[in-house]
Structure 1
């Protein structure tokens, strides 16, 4: 089979190589899946660069989130364990952690549902206790993680402010349903938030960016507000001024979704049930901006690394004939068109 592997750390477009490797074999408690779609996450870029908190041995295959096909024909969502990730034709996964792919979503959408939406759900509901009528501020609102938080915030009845970089991403945030969109390149985030909230500020801030985004957030968070720290896509890990949190009476909450698998695995299944219901109702649907053929995976990961993507980019290995999920014909047609354009 073919798999994308990283033999040395560096930029994804330079270090990801398409190799011929043996098909994996499932061991006790494992399932072998044919990969139908592999979602690209920002950690995939960090893994290539050697900048993620986990550093798998070289060579390794990135890809931490897939929609796959079991031997008995079930469509499932899974998170392959590194060093053998999802940018491959087949993967082996922990059977206990496999979840059913929602029928309402096609393969690409299902592959993009798990990590980003679970992170958003735990961050907004479990950590920040977001309530209907509150104001939610989402940084990088047009990105994969941010767009999930926007949809989940709207589903919870919150007023959502989306912060983006540039007019194209602003248009995407408006289409997602943001009540206010702020272009950080041309607008004053703090002033815009305070004006929108009548001076109160945002009740909950969802921050996957860090750096300047966090610095702006502490200046416009409300009394008894909650700032959920999800990641540091900017590359800048801020140092919180705890005296400021004290005098303004707000909370800084960390969210490491992966810990729930070890500490409270049953909560992940319960969250998936809730996300599946929301998908069936049409309330949430992963924003898949690109569906790319397998041969273009390295360039696609590079676009995510460079911040040149909106929503999710999903890699589509060829699905076996007759085993296609909802929307797969359209997705396959789009991927074929992209492949033809690249020739």
Structure 2
């Protein structure tokens, strides 16, 4: 039996697949597809900064162009959060993740939607979708606009909740200028079919989704895949994949699944200092995040109101947080850093500032660890 994989070894495997051990020459579309999208509810910076950390010569217009040409879109997908994905993945992932969105609507909004029976998608929810579709296809609508337009037909329900029900009933994408670097705009929605001129995938491949997760985030347990996607009962999918996967184990005896030829570097492989974007899926896609996020630091980067800060990676682990404000990038280590790591953090900060057009900005690295 092979030796168990340590948390450090799992971290190195994850960083290799995330192109955080060595930056890639992939173009923006290929990287977005490889990562199965980037979490993007905080518009517009996080996806851009996520690609900057992974692609050697990435420039903002490379991703802006994908959105403007409708080759990439912003839509609620994994975990019910807004993700920036390729157009093809939008059409494939959205039907796969419908059960998650149905469940979230029932658990969060049922009490605010007394006019609707949410237990049958072919009934009231489908009828609401039929009402909402011509409204958002006539022109993109914000939820603040859409809810009141639907309200006359559902007088006992809250308009804001009706807009959320429409998001569940229809594959609503956020249209530009929302998400464009240096521009931005309100979150106005239309349907994916209308925006992309193509239907959703009629028979999306759940097995393929799990394999793609492992390619970007493995090795992983069934619980990890479920945490990333928001779907449940994925253990049988991993079992069904059988000899297409290898079985490994971690130090706690948990079964890990992986692609046979996926990179699993030695744990001694150096991991460079990196600044990770806010809301980066590296920190959000495993049930056990300790391969990259020490448990004692979790509350320092994931706030009670759902904000995930930009983080400093040192030797493959979260070691601090960072943010920019008025051309100043401040890095706050959680413990004292070696001189070389401080210098590398300053260089990474300068790279982020240059990307954002703050050529005269400055990097401030705290002299003391912050609690």
What TM-score, normalized to structure 1? 0.29
Q: TM-score under structure 2 normalisation?
A: 0.28
More helix by share: 2
Structure ranking higher in strand proportion: 1
User: Highest CA radius of gyration, 1 or 2?
Assistant: 2
